[in-house]
Structure 1
């Protein structure tokens, strides 16, 4: 869909930061934080007390439970997201998410460790202690993933009047531009009506400029996963750190690995391009041969 109906034209699939987002944030970080949050935070809290008196959603239907947790958590996320943009400490747990210059479906996974721990603990702990059906948690997690990819996707989709209810790329991609007027706007995740209700919606009716300088952060930000987290604790200049041998070794190692990966991808793409062009040529050649045969038969009949 991003290739067929792009919101911003010219963005590559394997864009800058693609492998950091896929390998470090989507796969590795998600895996280890899932273990940390559920096994070492939520589970001990759940076992430390008898929550039977608080399980008021236990007898509700599964759809009602899902809707309840969707709305309440989205309300929380709206205000926490707004806090992150208004508080210097919390902004440092969120700026990584805004560092991408080329926003797509995968860029939404780029979130600081602290941000994920806070948000997912507050999201999933109530589902467990309030007595929700076991099916609610995976359904909620799936909807989170789908909505997260959708609102960050580089898709030129028009929601019409539905934009007042559901969030979408046409609203949220404005939030990822670095125009001053949208830094404190469009905080909603799933339900856009929070922004309209609390007067933080920004939808001028046109798109942000397509140039790179109109997107992401207005200041330099590390592209490496570990350096991004270190930068949230202590500001530094990457170029000045190159005088240290260990950092220079690490700094120069990353692009070499990425170059090899990109070469492999280019080889695969080239292979399929050659195969497709060969197949298309054969189809054209076959079609021309069949046309010539039909033409010859027609002349023979005459």
Structure 2
């Protein structure tokens, strides 16, 4: 029991000290300022080269999305996630220990060139995220959480940042075992994570990025805007274009749908009028809907 209490303590105080150090000591390897700087840079690109020129610079719910940036990527970890995840890892390791498993790493990649390791973790993680994203659109209770992300009605870089805190838990939990079984270093994770965040913000940005033939490999704003379409086509009633950074998975598994470059495509939820506009309501309603459906059965 003591080690679980220590994990909780380390989770809170360790992350608090880490975050304070990040804020007080700017640098190239600083996650806090890297994410803030990347967001600002993409926002400046939106101002300079807007795809939807009639869209306001301070679009609808702009400031809520900015709050989501700090909540989802820093404050939630401070309040709960870091401590919970450390306890969960300890419990999982103890469970494996019952079967004599003391090291989860099954594949060693340390001898491979650095660029190969980066490419491997990027492709594997992107494929897993594509699959998890697809699940969000097909599993009823997961969709309730994912609605928060789809509630934006004016697309911009901050659209990536708006998501329910349960997505942090679900994504990381489902990614953990496959990635932990491969001996990647923490630096590799950091580089791939930052790259994914930047490309994800670009994919949601008010920008038109001509990719040419590379559109079959990389996701872009024109393709991803259709993912947020308010009305689903009959051919894809549960959604499409699930790619995070890579679009190739959608083309391989035929979950792609991109009939045109329509910058004024209506986006949002079919029942948008019933969705809360405030942060607290957006994070409470999914739980209410899940339990309401459960009680109705």
How far apart, CA to CA, are the structure 2 residues paired with 1:46 and 1:131?
16
Q: Does residue 206 of structure 1 match 2:249?
A: no
Q: 2:63 aligns with which of 1, 5, 19?
A: 19
Per the alignment, residue 51 of structure 2 pairs with 7
Task: Please report how far the alpha carbon of residue 101 of structure 1 lies from its aligned counterpart in structure 2 after TM superposition.
Answer: 0.5
User: What TM-score comes out, normalization by structure 2 length?
Assistant: 0.70
Task: Please report how far the alpha carbon of residue 43 of structure 1 lies from its aligned counterpart in structure 2 after TM superposition.
Answer: 6.1
8 A contact 2:218–2:248 mirrored in 1: yes
8 A contact 1:7–1:155 mirrored in 2: yes
Q: 1:223 aligns with which of 277, 282, 286?
A: 277
Change (3 A) 1:53 1:232: closer
Task: Please report how far the alpha carbon of residue 144 of structure 1 lies from its aligned counterpart in structure 2 after TM superposition.
Answer: 1.8
How many pairs were matched up? 232
Q: Does residue 187 of structure 1 match 2:230?
A: no
How far apart, CA to CA, are the structure 2 residues paired with 1:13 and 1:186?
26
8 A contact 1:46–1:128 mirrored in 2: no
Task: Please report how far the alpha carbon of residue 186 of structure 1 lies from its aligned counterpart in structure 2 after TM superposition.
Answer: 0.7
How far apart, CA to CA, are the structure 1 residues paired with 2:279 and 2:156?
18
Tell me the secondary structure at the aligned position of residue 226 of structure 2. helix
Q: How do residues 115-154 of structure 1 correspond to structure 2 at under 5 angstroms?
A: 115-123=167-175, 126-154=178-206
Per the alignment, residue 93 of structure 1 pairs with 145
How far apart, CA to CA, are the structure 1 residues paired with 2:204 and 2:89?
29
Tell me the secondary structure at the aligned position of residue 58 of structure 1. coil
- Flag structure 2 segments of 5+ consecutive residues without an equivalent: 1-44, 290-297
Task: Please report how far the alpha carbon of residue 2 of structure 1 lies from its aligned counterpart in structure 2 after TM superposition.
Answer: 1.1
How far apart, CA to CA, are the structure 2 residues paired with 1:12 and 1:37?
39
Q: 1:39 aligns with which of 67, 77, 86?
A: 86
How far apart, CA to CA, are the structure 1 residues paired with 2:183 and 2:177?
10
Q: Which has the larger radius of gyration?
A: 1
Q: 1:248-273, CA deviations, whole angstroms, 9 ceiling, x for partnerless residues?
A: xxxxxxxxxxxxxxxxxxxxxxxxxx
Per the alignment, residue 154 of structure 2 pairs with 102
Divergent runs of 4+, >6 A: none
How far apart, CA to CA, are the structure 2 residues paired with 1:62 and 1:161?
28
How far apart, CA to CA, are the structure 2 residues paired with 1:151 and 1:71?
17
How far apart, CA to CA, are the structure 1 residues paired with 2:202 and 2:209?
10
Task: Please report how far the alpha carbon of residue 103 of structure 1 lies from its aligned counterpart in structure 2 after TM superposition.
Answer: 1.1
Tell me the secondary structure at the aligned position of residue 234 of structure 1. helix
Task: Please report how far the alpha carbon of residue 168 of structure 1 lies from its aligned counterpart in structure 2 after TM superposition.
Answer: 0.7
User: What TM-score comes out, normalization by structure 1 length?
Assistant: 0.69
